[in-house]
């Protein structure tokens, strides 16, 4: 994965989202060790402090936990928490934007539902 330096999303947030995506894809599972800030810094060619800030966000949101002297690990319920938060935040925002645009374009509810089903089949 490449980070997008031109994005309006700060690099440390992109790091946190990347780790969350690794959890969602089951590449990082409950109680598995997560990359250190230095490993992340080397992987993405960024400052270790920036990588550490991304890890801290996940630690503060109870996605990760620390084992003194061993590093950071994935919380047992991390995947469930990420799914619930993203459904509540991101998916609701995106759905709202889609519905507003559909109304502007005079797309009926039925047409919108069919469009969503068509897109789902293609994924």
Reported as a single tens digit per residue, the pLDDT across 21-76 is 999 999 999 999 999 999 999 999 999 999 999 999 999 999 999 999 999 999 99
Query: pLDDT for 52-62, tens place per residue?
Result: 999 999 999 99
- Dist CA 121 CA 123 (whole Å): 6
Q: How many CA atoms lie within 13 A of 111 on its CB side?
A: 9
CB 30 within 8 A of CB 65: no
Say what the pTM is: 0.78
- CATH number belonging to domain 11-76: 1.10.10.10
H-helix or E-strand containing 25?
Answer: none
């Amino acid at each position: 994965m490449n980070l997008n330096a031109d994005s309006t999303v700060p690099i440390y947030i992109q790091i946190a989202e990347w780790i969350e995506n690794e959890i969602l894809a089951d590449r990082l599972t409950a109680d598995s060790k997560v990359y250190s800030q230095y490993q992340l810094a080397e992987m993405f060619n960024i400052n270790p402090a920036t990588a550490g800030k991304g890890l801290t966000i996940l630690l503060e949101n109870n996605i990760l936990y620390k084992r003194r002297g061993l590093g950071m690990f994935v919380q047992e319920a991390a995947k469930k928490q990420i799914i619930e938060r993203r459904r509540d935040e991101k998916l609701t925002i995106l759905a709202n934007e889609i519905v507003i645009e559909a109304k502007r374009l005079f797309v009926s509810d039925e047409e919108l539902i069919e469009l969503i089903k068509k897109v789902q089949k293609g994924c």
